[in-house]
Amino acid sequence: MSYSIFRAVVFDFDGTLTELTLDFGLLREEVFKIARGYTDPETLKCLDGFYIIEMIYELERRLGERGSAFSMEAFKRLEELEIEAAAGKNVFPYTREVLKGLKDRGIKNGIITRSCIAVLHQVFPDINDYVHGISTREHIRYVKPDPRHVEHVLESIQVRPKDAILVGDHPTDITAGKDAGLKTAGVLSGRTKQQSFKESGADYIINDIREILAIVDGRLNQ
């Protein structure tokens, strides 16, 4: 077992460990369709600046007694669309090799995702053979970019933030990791360009997760 500068690596899922196939515009519109059955257009306008999950919770709060019925329907539809988008998917060809390489080094692997747990098991059925901790929106209400999402998975694998690095394909991953006190790596295998990662303050920018092995070994400088 070789020495590493980190005790854990926390990964985003879609775009980082597997291809990004979600249509976020469609997800948002489908949730809005459901919301129109519960509230007026003016209230919906107030939700424009929210991410989808946060929007569901905000409208749930505003609806009072009807809120739980709305959020249940909205999350059910969200799960249906996520599972549909994941049909036929697998993780990237190198994902298992990288995760095994980290485990062989004595490094714990964690995953945080805003998606549902069913998608992870559909795309990555042997996930428990490679990953020590998972945190989805079913595990915690406060999902990334909220740092509590990162803190939740670190608590489950019993690693301190200063001993971990977060790897993701979107600036929200970098924000969540930095705010939780982790080093961060932006991966270009998803939808984000190098400049956006620089602006978000990523400590490393890598082409795909294969380069994380060089980072944890101390062979790739910031």
- Same domain, residue pair 96 and 204: yes
For residues 169-189, average pLDDT = 97
Beta-bridge partner residues of 107: none
Burial class (CB in 10 A: 0-12, 13-18, 19+), 54: middle
Compute, in degrees rounded to 10, the torsion defined by CA atoms 23, 26, 27, 31.
170
- Same domain, residue pair 72 and 104: no
For residues 133-137, average pLDDT = 98
Residue 33: inside a domain: yes
Residue 59: inside a domain: yes
For residues 172-177, average pLDDT = 97
Residue 98: inside a domain: yes
Q: Give, rounded to a whole angstrom, the gap between the first and last alpha carbons of the chain.
A: 24
The confidence score (pLDDT) of residue 29 equals: 95
Q: Residue by residue, what is the 3-state secondary structure of 109-166?
A: EEEECCCCHHHHHHHCCCHHHCCCEEECCCCCCCCCCCHHHHHHHHHHHCCCHHHEEE
Residue 220 — pLDDT band, cuts 50, 70, 90? Answer: confident
Residue 140: inside a domain: yes
Domain that holds residue 41: 24-85
Model confidence pLDDT, tens digit, residues 61-97: 999 999 999 999 999 999 999 999 999 999 999 999 9
Q: What is the C-alpha separation between 26 and 128, in angstroms, rounded?
A: 30
Model confidence pLDDT, tens digit, residues 36-64: 999 999 999 999 889 999 999 999 999 99
CATH of the domain at 160: 3.40.50.1000
Model confidence pLDDT, tens digit, residues 100-124: 999 999 999 999 999 999 999 999 9
- Same domain, residue pair 96 and 197: yes
- Same domain, residue pair 171 and 150: yes
The confidence score (pLDDT) of residue 39 equals: 95
> Which of 35, 65, 85 marks a domain boundary?
85
Identify which has the larger pLDDT, 25 or 220. 25
The bridge status of strand 164-168 relative to strand 8-11 is: parallel
What is the amino acid identity at position 199?
A: E
For residues 125-148, average pLDDT = 98
The confidence score (pLDDT) of residue 204 equals: 97
Among candidate residues 212, 207, 187, 189, the one with its CA nearest the CA of residue 197: 187
Residue 52 per-residue DSSP state: H
Residue 1 — pLDDT band, cuts 50, 70, 90? Answer: very low
In the chain, the number of structural domains is 2
The confidence score (pLDDT) of residue 3 equals: 60
Q: What is the pTM of this model?
A: 0.94
Residue 49: inside a domain: yes
> Which of 70, 85, 100 marks a domain boundary?
85
The yes-or-no verdict on residue 218 having pLDDT over 90 is no
Residue 222 — pLDDT band, cuts 50, 70, 90? Answer: low
The yes-or-no verdict on residue 150 having pLDDT over 60 is yes
